[in-house]
């Protein structure tokens, strides 16, 4: 019965998972509404959690696949300090517990992809093997190579009806090139996204609590990091770039420049703004908004192009983007839990899991574990994928 203790659970794994999630026994007990003595008993082996309790520990509290608790010993996994070596010490120390859990979740997805696809990318022409970035290369040339590899023309981009379609199209093109894109709501609001580089399964996770146009820029920024073959945690505040070591600062600036050039090619931008006379800094915000809508990007990206052209000052750019950021309304996937989780998951990843489950190549428990949900809820995700395929 589901209420009976689960046999085979390793007490050392329970303790390791709790400690690596930066939770105390008292905190876990409070979240599960149990006595601390019961949690201690699970961790010393004198008792064991039931299956529903183990599911909550795995999926809600520790953000771990359920199968992990049956391993003979804890996996050897890098800490954020070793995984993101290019970040300054104070930035690593500033990562809150939720961000650390999201990094771990992204890594778990990466491991699941490796297992699901038997260690080889399913992409016919992986983007990171087609385009390799160097901070000394011409930005426009490299951005054009990325756009061509993704198969997104500027004419097509300008035809998209809104930022929602733009985000979906960019995400689909990037996934088609072998980079798996996940989303989540970052409680640490200053973080725009992160990426984990890999020779076969690079993963990007974008902050879903921001506007869709901001997510689009974050997505292309992280793609540039993948093409540098570097792990990255990116923030909204561009002033933090100045605190980076010279080499890392140059790469961060280059990633911003590449993302801006992919989204708003400077040659086309010059044609669009050739008739703009007078001082750009005195322009009405509506003119920036109209231009941003043409490319389906944020006003900040448009203003960055003017900054690149030397037509606005750094101080004006920072003040204006700060003001616009304060006006932004966050994006969201609605109040339905399953719809939200569907948006968070890589579409290509989720489709593959559902297909293999339908072919009986995966059990329900295995399929649920891949996407990090309880088995009893997997059918809801299956329904979403099948309805989308039938649409």
Q: Are 179 and 226 in contact (CB under 8 A)?
A: yes
- Domain CATH for 55: 1.10.260
d(CA 299, CA 293): 8
A 10 A CB-CB count for 270 gives 11
Phi, psi of 336 (to 5 degrees): -80, 120
pTM of the model: 0.84
Residue 311 domain-assigned?
A: no
pLDDT at position 80 is 72
- Alpha-carbon distance values, 63 to 201, 245, 319, 374 (Å): 20, 33, 38, 12
Instruction: Give the up-direction half-sphere exposure of residue 183: CA atoms within 13 A in the CB hemisphere.
Output: 26
User: Is residue 311 exposed (0-12), middle (13-18) or buried (19+ Cβ within 10 Å)?
Assistant: middle
Instruction: Report the phi/psi class of residue 63: left, alpha or beta, with left for phi > 0 and alpha for psi in -120 to 50.
Output: left
pLDDT per residue rounded down to tens, the chain (391 residues): 567 889 999 999 999 999 888 889 999 999 999 999 999 999 999 999 999 999 999 988 888 888 889 999 888 777 776 677 666 565 666 788 888 889 988 988 998 999 999 999 999 999 999 998 988 889 999 999 999 999 999 999 999 999 999 999 999 999 999 999 999 999 988 899 999 999 999 999 999 999 999 999 999 999 999 999 999 998 866 667 777 777 888 888 899 999 999 999 999 999 999 888 889 999 999 999 999 999 999 999 999 999 988 999 989 998 998 899 888 766 655 567 778 888 999 999 999 999 999 999 999 999 998 998 888 899 999 988 888 765 5
160 with 225, same domain?
A: yes
Residues 72 and 102 occupy one common structural domain: no
**Angle at alpha carbon of residue 209, lines to 207 and 214, rounded to 5°:** 65
Is residue 318 included in any domain, yes or no? no
Q: Does 283 reside within a domain?
A: no
State the Cα angle at 326 between 235 and 80, rounded to 5°: 20
Q: Do 100 and 31 share a domain, yes or no?
A: no
Residue 106: how many other CB atoms lie within 10 Å: 21
- β-bridge partners, 233: 194
* Same domain? 209 vs 67: no
Q: Are residues 72 and 96 in the same domain?
A: no
Strand order in the sheet with 180-184: 180-184, 203-207, 191-196, 232-235
Q: Kindly state whether residues 72 and 93 are assigned to the same domain.
A: no
Question: According to the model, what pLDDT value does residue 20 have?
Answer: 85
Question: Does residue 295 fall inside a structural domain?
Answer: no
Do 185 and 219 lie in one domain? The reply is yes
Q: Write down the pLDDT at residue 64.
A: 85
pLDDT for 206: 97
- Cα angle 363, 367, 372 (rounded to 5 degrees) comes to 145
Number of domains in the chain: 3
Q: Residue 308: inside a domain, yes or no?
A: no
**pLDDT of 1:** 55
Which of 213, 248, 264 is at the close of a domain? 264
Question: Of 253, 192, 195, 254, nearest to 218 (Cα)?
Answer: 192
Within this chain, do residues 133 and 193 fall inside the same structural domain, yes or no? Answer: yes
Please indicate, yes or no, whether residues 117 and 236 belong to a single structural domain of this protein: yes
Question: Do 49 and 95 belong to one domain?
Answer: no
- The rounded distance, in Å, linking the Cα atoms of 283 and 273 is 12
Clarify whether residues 56 and 172 are in a common domain: no
Task: Give the pLDDT score at 361.
Answer: 95
Element (H, E) at 284: none
Residues 174 and 61 in one domain: no
Integer Cα distance of 127 and 39 in angstroms? 46
Is residue 289 situated within a structural domain? Answer: no
| Domain contains 223 | yes
Domain boundary among 76, 101, 123: 76
The answer to the question of residue 224 being in a domain is yes
Integer Cα distance of 215 and 219 in angstroms: 6
Domain that holds residue 355: 337-390
Last residue of a domain, one of 203, 233, 264: 264
């Amino acid at each position: 019965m589901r209420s009976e203790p689960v046999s085979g659970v390793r007490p050392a794994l329970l303790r390791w998972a709790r400690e690596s999630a930066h939770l105390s026994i008292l905190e876990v007990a409070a979240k599960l509404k149990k006595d601390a003595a019961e949690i201690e008993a699970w961790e010393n082996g004198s008792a064991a959690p039931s299956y529903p309790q183990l599911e909550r520990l795995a999926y809600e509290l520790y953000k771990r696949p359920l199968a992990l608790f049956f391993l003979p010993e804890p996996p050897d996994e890098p800490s954020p300090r070793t995984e993101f070596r290019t970040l300054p010490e104070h930035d690593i120390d500033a990562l809150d517990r939720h961000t650390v859990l999201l990094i771990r979740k992204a890594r778990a997805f990466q491991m699941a992809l490796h297992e699901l696809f038997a260690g080889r990318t399913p992409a016919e022409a992986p983007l990171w093997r087609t385009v390799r970035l160097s901070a000394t290369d011409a930005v426009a040339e490299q951005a054009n190579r990325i756009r061509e590899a993704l198969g997104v023309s500027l004419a097509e981009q300008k035809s998209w009806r809104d930022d929602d379609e733009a985000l979906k199209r960019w995400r689909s093109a990037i996934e088609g090139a072998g980079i798996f894109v996940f989303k989540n709501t970052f409680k640490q609001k200053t973080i725009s996204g992160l990426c984990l580089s890999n020779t076969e399964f690079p993963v990007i996770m974008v902050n879903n609590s921001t506007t869709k146009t901001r997510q689009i820029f974050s997505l292309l920024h992280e793609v540039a990091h993948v093409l540098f073959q570097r792990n990255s945690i990116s923030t909204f505040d561009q002033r933090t770039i100045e605190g980076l070591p010279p080499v890392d600062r140059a790469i961060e600036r280059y990633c911003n420049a590449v993302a801006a050039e992919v989204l708003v090619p400077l040659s086309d931008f010059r044609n669009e703004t050739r008739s703009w006379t007078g001082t750009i800094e005195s322009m009405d915000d509506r003119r920036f908004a109209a231009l941003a809508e043409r490319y389906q990007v944020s006003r900040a990206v448009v203003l960055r192009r003017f900054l690149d052209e030397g037509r606005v000052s750094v101080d004006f750019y920072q003040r204006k983007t700060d003001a616009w950021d304060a006006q932004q309304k966050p994006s969201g996937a609605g109040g339905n839990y399953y719809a939200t989780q569907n948006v968070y998951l890589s579409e290509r990843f989720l489709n593959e899991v559902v297909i293999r489950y339908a072919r009986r190549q995966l059990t329900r428990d295995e399929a649920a574990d891949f996407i990090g949900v309880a088995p009893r809820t997997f059918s809801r995700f299956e329904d979403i994928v099948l309805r989308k395929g039938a649409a």
